[in-house]
Amino acid sequence: MLLTKTIVYEMEHSMNYSIENTLKALEDKGVKIIDPRQVYVSPDVDLERIYPGSILFPGTRITGSRTLIGTGAKIGTEGPVTVNDSVIGAGAAIASGYVTESTLLPRAKTGGSCHLRGGTLLEEEANTAHAVGLKQTIMMYGVTMGSLINFCDALLSGGLSRKVHTEVGSGFIHFNFTPWGEFGDKATPSLIGSVTEGVFLDKPPIFLGGMSGIVGPKEIGFGSMTVAGQVVRKSIPDATMYSGERVSFEKSFSYNNTAPSDKHIRLIRERNIEYLAQLYALKAWYSCIRLKRSALSGNEELSLVYAGALETIEECVKERVKRYKSFASQWNAKPINDACLSEDFPEFEDFVDWKPELEYDKWVWSLSENEKSLLHSWIVSCADKVRSGL
C-alpha cells in the first residue's frame, strides 16, 4: 500500500513530537524528570525554553509556547502542577496547583494548591503559603502571603529584605468587584505601597492582618499595619496602625438605579490614574534597568524572564485601561487618554555602576545615595509623565 506524502509527513511529525521523544530530549539536555510516566509536555512547548537543572516532579503538565522553566526551578514539589504559557525563573518553585499566563522571577515560590491567573507577577523572594489565588496582581520583591488568600487587581511592595518584608495574613481577600450598574465594575485596583518607592528595597514593610479584606480601590502606606479581623474601607497613610469600625446600615437599594456619587467617581478615576502611573514606572524599571543589567551580564535566560515580566506588566496595563473605560462609559465619568502609556520613557542617563556580576537585590542594596537619588528622580518622572498625560 502506497502512502501519500501528506500521510508520511504527519506520521513523521507525530513520531518526532511524541511525549516519549519530548521527555527524552529534555532529559538529554539536563532536565531532571522524576517519573516520566507522570509528566506531560505539550507539542507547543519550546524545549529550548526548558533549562537544564530544572526539576519536573510527578504530576507536572506543561503547555503553551510562552512557557519557560528556568535553571534549577522546581515544578510540583508537593503535588500536581499545570503550568500554561507562564515564565518561571531560575530557582523558583511551584509546590502544586495551576499557573497560567503568569511570571515568577528567580527564587519566587508558591505553596500548595496555588491558583495563579493572567497578569500575575511574583518578583524575587516573593512567596505564598497554600491555597492562594492571584489574578492581575503584582507581588514585588520579598512580599509574602499566608494561606487561604485571594487577591485580584492589586500591587504590593515594601520591605528591606527577604527577612523584613511586606506580609499579608492568612484568610485575606482583596474585594475587586462593585455590583452597581448593569454589569458592575472592576475599576478597583489597590496599591499596597508603590513602585516608585518600593523598587529601592529600603521602605518599611506593610502588614495586613489576617481574616480581613480590603474594598478596592485603596492605598496602604509603607510601614502601616491593619489589625486582623476587619474589612478595610479607607486608604491608610504611612506608618499607621488601623482598625476600622464595623459598618452597620439598612436602606433601599437597586443595582441599576443606585448610582455612585460624583465624589466617588472622581476618586475612582484618581486611583486608576495613580495605579496606571505606577505600572508605567514598573515597566520603565524593567525596560531600562533590569534588562540593561541582564544584557551586561550576558545572562540570556534572565533576559527572557524579564521579558516575560514585561509582558505580564503590559497585560496589567491593558486590563486597567479596559476596566476604567467600562466604568467611565457606564457612569459618564471623565475619560483617560491612554496613548501616553505607549510612549517612550523619559530620557535615562547612564549614571550608575551597573555591577552586572551582582544579583539584582544585592545590586540595589549596593547603590550609593547619589545613584539612588538620581534613579528615584528618574522613576518618579516616569510616573509623573503618565499622571499628567492621562
Q: Name every residue whose Cβ is closer than 8 Å to that of residue 323 and which is 6 or more positions away in sequence.
A: 153, 185, 186, 187, 188, 272
Residues 344-362, mean pLDDT to the nearest whole number: 93
Domains, the chain, ranges and CATH? Answer: 15-242 (2.160.10.10), 262-389 (no CATH)
- Write the pLDDT tens digit of every residue in 248-300: 888 887 777 778 889 999 999 999 999 999 999 999 999 999 999 999 999 99
CA distance 236 to 242: 7
How does the average pLDDT of the chain come out, rounded? 94
C-alpha grid cell for residue 156? 504590593
- Write the pLDDT tens digit of every residue in 138-153: 999 999 999 999 999 9
CA distance 244 to 251: 21
pTM value is 0.94
The pLDDT of residue 3 is 46
- Write the pLDDT tens digit of every residue in 322-331: 999 999 999 9
232, 219 Cβ separation under 8 angstroms: no
What are the b/e assignments for 339-378, b being 16+ CB within 10 Å? Answer: ebbeeebbebeeebeeeeeeebbebbeebeeeeeebbeeb
Task: Give the phi and the psi of residue 281 in degrees, each rounded to 5.
Answer: -65, -40
145, 168 Cβ separation under 8 angstroms: yes
Q: How far is CA 244 from CA 27, 193, 212, 355, in A?
A: 55, 19, 11, 46
- Write the pLDDT tens digit of every residue in 301-316: 999 999 999 999 999 9
